Amino acid sequence: MIPINLIQSTAETLMDKAAIEIPQDYLDGLQEAARTEDGDLSSFVLKAMLENYEAAKEDRRAMCGDTGVPRWFVKMGNEAQVEGGMVALEAALRRATANATNGVPLRPNRVHPLWRTDHNNNVGIGAPEIEYGYEPEGAWVDLITVHKGGLFGSDYRMLFPSDGIQGIKRFYLDSLMAFGKRGLACQPAIIGIGLGGSKDICMTLGKRASTLRIVGSRNSDPEIAKMEDEFKELGNSIGMGAMGFVGKNMVIDCNIEVGYCHTGGMPMSVHAFCLSSRRAVARIHADGQVEHRTDPDWFTDYQRRETIDWEPMREAAE
């Protein structure tokens, strides 16, 4: 049984880490970009961003003034138990979000869409979002917080089988061109592409591809992994860099996730996780041990399963 106060205190630490500490995989990617960038202005921008990450850590202040919209992904082993149950867990995550907004401080970004009511704590109707995933074994709970920023850089479109790969490429490029200009997407970014699913799940897949997979990871389907490499290169061949200035670094990595869709369609979404790719993860074990990491490790074989039942032993033997 995992104590509820441990859930809340861990969640508060994660809120702080996500806002302040750039994840190592993104930092490595950006340092590589800074090394290869030869555009005068975009090179200056990347160097300033690298200094900014250092300043944030030294001062323990948020990397970016727009601290995004905090949200939670909760992954649980099949045997996990939380004191007070899932309603208590949700309350703990909402409380941690509110406390950290005042504590770090974060910008109180969350408002009512019509009345613009701001509780000054990033909590409100449907906020923070809390989404769940499960794994076949274990009594642990993974808390993952993502503070995704940006009003720009995402788009959805219903494509069809006849649009093919060339149609997918066109919509990908359209999204980069539209939101890369003037740097509205705050690139170079981790671009996530969702293919398939129903319309809402298509958006979810793309968002999770950008925020829950790290730079350098590859889809377990080797053909999709090849597309990820190709799309990264394609995005970086536009000639556009940071802030939309001439440059060669637009895409730090491109992650693609798929889900089965209607036989007549091929829905597609594109998401951009920005220069302040805020994510932090902790695993809380049943014995109260807490392990921090930055890789959400969300897309396991179980999450991508195609079969009715989960029979890992049989699959491993094949």
- Minimum distance from residue 69 beta carbon to another protein (Å): 12
Q: Which is nearer to another protein, 125 or 316 (CB)?
A: 125
- Minimum distance from residue 262 beta carbon to another protein (Å): 14
Q: 131: which residues sit within 8 A by CB, 6+ positions away?
A: 71, 72, 73, 74
- Minimum distance from residue 249 beta carbon to another protein (Å): 13
Q: Which is nearer to another protein, 194 or 244 (CB)?
A: 244
Q: Match 């950008």 to its residue by tokens.
A: 210
- Minimum distance from residue 105 beta carbon to another protein (Å): 4
Query: Of 54, 8, 9, whose CA–CA distance to 30 is shortest?
Result: 54
Q: Which is nearer to another protein, 116 or 263 (CB)?
A: 116
**Given the rule CB under 8 A, which residues bind another protein?**
19, 38, 40-41, 43-45, 48-49, 51-53, 55-56, 59, 61-67, 102, 104-109, 111, 116, 118, 120, 151-152, 157-160, 162-164, 166-167, 169-171, 173, 177, 181-184, 186, 234, 237-240, 242-246, 274-276
- Minimum distance from residue 250 beta carbon to another protein (Å): 10
- Minimum distance from residue 215 beta carbon to another protein (Å): 18
- Minimum distance from residue 263 beta carbon to another protein (Å): 15
Q: Which is nearer to another protein, 175 or 217 (CB)?
A: 175
Q: Which is nearer to another protein, 108 or 138 (CB)?
A: 108
Q: Which is nearer to another protein, 27 or 44 (CB)?
A: 44
Distance CA 71, CA 129 (A): 5
E-state strands within the chain: 69-77, 130-135, 141-148, 155-159, 189-196, 251-259, 266-273, 279-284, 290-293
Distance CA 22, CA 46 (A): 14
- Minimum distance from residue 171 beta carbon to another protein (Å): 7
HSE, CB side, 13 Å, CA atoms: give it for residue 307. 8
Q: Which is nearer to another protein, 59 or 309 (CB)?
A: 59
Tell me which DSSP letter residue 44 carries.
Answer: H
Distance CA 21, CA 8 (A): 20
In degrees rounded to 5, what are phi and psi of residue 192? -110, 135
Strands 189-196 and 251-259: parallel
Q: 268: which residues sit within 8 A by CB, 6+ positions away?
A: 156, 157, 158, 159, 168, 171, 193, 194, 195, 202, 206
Q: Which is nearer to another protein, 6 or 50 (CB)?
A: 50
The three-class DSSP label of residue 199 is: helix
| Cβ atoms 45, 242 nearer than 8 A | yes
